[in-house]
């Protein structure tokens, strides 16, 4: 009988213990937080990349949602989390300590804001730290710090001052200078998750009833709770799309009329283009990013709307006949959207503001040349910074004596306090209160309506 020859013993690979349940989700959340804070990457794109990757392929939907929730809350409250951690670490955060900082931040986010049992939050953060050679020697320290945060959570939460503790210094200073006492209300509102608002093609009251949504005084609808959007009535037939109540105001202010030729100069992904097209205008949607314009086309297809698209830098757009109206939703720091994009607070800075303001100036000047005599221009940004809003338009009007402001009225926008004395729109995130305060708020937007002499 043939006996298999005995092979010499080979060294066996070290037995790889399977990850504890819940650990892969913590790993990805910590990685996303580190990508935002250390590499200034955008949170949404980072999460999409990680959750589309091989390490998430076998992950259940519940865990995927947990990755998003942990990373988003850790970034949204990173200021307060850092303060709570450092107050409990005598020698500060050790340098060159690998995953330590992001594991502590995501652990603290779970302890303070998420519905995760304390023991699971701490245990998984420590396992994560132990899995990294550079961090493992701090496991004891991390354990002590997180346990203290768990014990002291009520006092920590009660003591948070959103402006002083939970807003990066560069923004806290700017908002205090621009908005005085309202800066504290802005910071507090920015710390909340945004509601889901919808823009309907037509008949908001009927859709409010069908969707059991709130009909806001601005003309948008607000869902009472988060839900799977494709399952809602009207999604398949393209009756509505998701768009913050403030973001829906600028296109309405342009008052698009059927047949008018309107350019949307920074159009993708197309929320405002859809409003213009739904009103019957002949829209040219311009964006310099072809991938983003592709998303716009997909969105228009779902909504059954036809628009012409052009992937070009708006500064190079050539249109000898000009346009009846132009919407310029310019690229900006997006500091009015921290409820949705809390990473902006940590990935942008004043140098970005200077660069973007200069681009906005050039785009505004270009828009003026593309407008027919008598044409309308709505300029808007989702920024709270006056350099991108009020100051930008004041300087534009000084450069262009052939253009004038067409003041916006409270009746048009439905939020009287959002109209400035000079007739511009300035929404602040704490506005739009109503009985169900959990659902209050809107993005911080600025818009001005301008006309070119006929
Ligand atoms: C604020 S987003 C537009 C959002 C869009 N209006 C909406 O409502 O869905 C700004 C857009 O401007 C585009 N952009 C930036 N610089 C541009 C330029 N010079 N010309 C054309 N598009 C530009 C960006 O690719 C980005 O899609």
* Catalytically annotated residues: 382
Please give the torsion angle defined by the CA atoms of residues 125, 130, 136 and 139, in that order, rounded to the nearest 10 degrees.
Answer: 40
The rounded mean pLDDT for the chain is 94
266 lines ligand 1 (CB under 6 A): yes
pLDDT band at 432 (very low <50, low <70, confident <90, very high): confident
What is the per-residue pLDDT across 216-250, written as a single tens digit (0 to 9) for each?
999 999 999 889 999 999 999 999 999 999 999 99
292 lines ligand 1 (CB under 6 A): yes
The closest residue, in CA terms, to atom 15 on ligand 1 is 331
- The per-residue pLDDT for 225 is 87
The closest residue, in CA terms, to atom 27 on ligand 1 is 268
Task: Find the 329 Cα to ligand 1 centroid distance in Å.
Answer: 7
Task: Find the 332 Cα to ligand 1 centroid distance in Å.
Answer: 9
- Residues 297, 86: Cα–Cα separation, whole Å: 47
Task: Find the 285 Cα to ligand 1 centroid distance in Å.
Answer: 10
- The per-residue pLDDT for 436 is 63
- The per-residue pLDDT for 5 is 44
- The per-residue pLDDT for 293 is 98
- The per-residue pLDDT for 14 is 46
What mean pLDDT do residues 433-453 have? 85
Name the residue of 292, 296, 331 to mutate for ligand 1: max ligand atoms within 8 A of Cβ: 331
Ligand 1 atom closest to residue 314's alpha carbon, by position in its atom list: 20
313 lines ligand 1 (CB under 6 A): yes
- Residues 426, 422: Cα–Cα separation, whole Å: 11
- Residue 414, classified by CB atoms within 10 Å of its CB into exposed (0-12), middle (13-18) or buried (19+), is middle
Task: Find the 358 Cα to ligand 1 centroid distance in Å.
Answer: 15
Task: Find the 379 Cα to ligand 1 centroid distance in Å.
Answer: 12
Predicted complex ipTM: 0.99
329 lines ligand 1 (CB under 6 A): yes
269 lines ligand 1 (CB under 6 A): yes
pLDDT band at 6 (very low <50, low <70, confident <90, very high): very low
Give the predicted TM-score (pTM) of the model.
0.93
What mean pLDDT do residues 343-357 have? 97
- The per-residue pLDDT for 8 is 46
| Domains of the chain, start order | 23-160 (1.10.940.10), 245-452 (3.40.50.150)
Whether 97 has a pLDDT exceeding 60, the answer reads: yes
What mean pLDDT do residues 311-315 have? 98
What is the per-residue pLDDT across 63-77, written as a single tens digit (0 to 9) for each?
999 999 999 999 999
What is the per-residue pLDDT across 127-141, written as a single tens digit (0 to 9) for each?
999 999 999 999 999
- The per-residue pLDDT for 454 is 84
- The per-residue pLDDT for 381 is 98
Lowest mean pLDDT segment, chosen from 12-16, 277-281, 292-296: 12-16
Task: Find the 448 Cα to ligand 1 centroid distance in Å.
Answer: 17
341 lines ligand 1 (CB under 6 A): no
Percent of the chain with pLDDT over 70: 95
Annotated binding residue 380: no
Name the residue of 287, 317, 381, 443 to mutate for ligand 1: max ligand atoms within 8 A of Cβ: 287
pLDDT band at 3 (very low <50, low <70, confident <90, very high): very low
Counting other chains too, the contacts that 160-165 makes at CB distance below 8 Å and 24 or more residues apart are 160/80, 162/187, 162/188, 162/190, 162/191, 163/187, 163/188, 165/79, 165/80, 165/83
Ligand 1 atom closest to residue 363's alpha carbon, by position in its atom list: 19
- Residues 350, 326: Cα–Cα separation, whole Å: 28
Annotated binding residue 44: no
How many Cα atoms sit within 13 Å of 309 on the Cβ side?
24
315 lines ligand 1 (CB under 6 A): yes
Whether 16 has a pLDDT exceeding 80, the answer reads: no
Candidate ranges 10-14, 73-77, 433-437; pick with highest mean pLDDT: 73-77
- The per-residue pLDDT for 11 is 47
- The per-residue pLDDT for 7 is 46
197 and 220 Cβ atoms separated by less than 8 Å: yes
């Amino acid at each position: 009988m043939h006996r298999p020859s005995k092979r010499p013993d080979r060294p066996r690979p070290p037995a790889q213990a399977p990850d504890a349940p819940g650990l892969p989700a913590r790993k990805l959340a910590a990685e996303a937080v580190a990508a935002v804070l250390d590499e200034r990457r955008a949170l949404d794109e980072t999460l999409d990349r990680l959750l589309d990757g091989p390490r998430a392929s076998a992950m259940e939907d519940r865990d995927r949602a947990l990755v998003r929730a942990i990373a988003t809350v850790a970034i949204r409250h990173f200021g307060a989390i850092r303060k709570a951690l450092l107050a409990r670490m005598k020698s500060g955060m050790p340098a060159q300590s690998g995953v330590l900082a992001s594991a502590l931040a995501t652990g603290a986010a779970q302890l303070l804001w998420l519905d995760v049992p304390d023991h699971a939050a701490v245990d998984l953060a420590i396992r994560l730290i132990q899995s990294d050679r550079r961090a493992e020697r701090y496991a004891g320290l991390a354990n002590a710090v997180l346990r203290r945060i768990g014990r002291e959570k009520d006092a920590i939460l009660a003591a948070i001052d959103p402006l002083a503790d939970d807003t990066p210094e560069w923004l806290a200073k700017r908002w205090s200078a621009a908005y005085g006492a309202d800066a504290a209300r802005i910071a507090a509102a920015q710390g909340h998750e945004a509601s889901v608002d919808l823009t309907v093609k037509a008949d908001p009251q009927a859709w409010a009833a069908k969707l059991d949504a709130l009909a806001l005084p601005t003309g948008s609808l607000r869902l009472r709770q988060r839900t799977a959007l494709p399952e809602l009535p009207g999604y398949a037939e393209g009756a509505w799309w998701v768009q913050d109540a403030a973001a829906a105001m600028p296109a309405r202010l342009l008052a698009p009329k059927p047949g008018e030729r309107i350019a949307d100069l920074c159009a993708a992904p197309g929320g405002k283009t859809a409003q213009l097209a739904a009103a019957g205008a002949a829209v040219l949607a311009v964006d310099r990013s072809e991938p983003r314009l592709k998303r716009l086309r997909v969105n228009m297809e779902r909504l059954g709307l036809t628009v012409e698209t052009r992937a070009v830098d708006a500064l190079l757009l050539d249109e000898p006949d000009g346009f009846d109206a132009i919407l310029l939703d310019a690229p900006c720091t997006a500091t009015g959207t921290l409820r949705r994009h809390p990473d902006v607070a940590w990935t942008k800075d004043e140098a970005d503001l200077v660069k973007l303001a200069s681009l906005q100036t050039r785009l505004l000047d270009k828009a003026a040349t593309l407008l027919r005599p008598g044409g309308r221009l709505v300029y808007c940004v989702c920024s709270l910074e006056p350099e991108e809003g009020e100051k930008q338009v004041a300087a534009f009007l000084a450069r262009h004596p052939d253009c004038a402001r067409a003041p916006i009225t409270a009746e048009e926008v439905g939020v009287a306090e959002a109209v400035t004395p000079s007739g511009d729109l300035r929404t602040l995130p704490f506005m739009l209160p109503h009985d169900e305060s959990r659902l209050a708020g809107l993005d911080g937007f600025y818009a001005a309506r301008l006309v070119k002499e006929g």
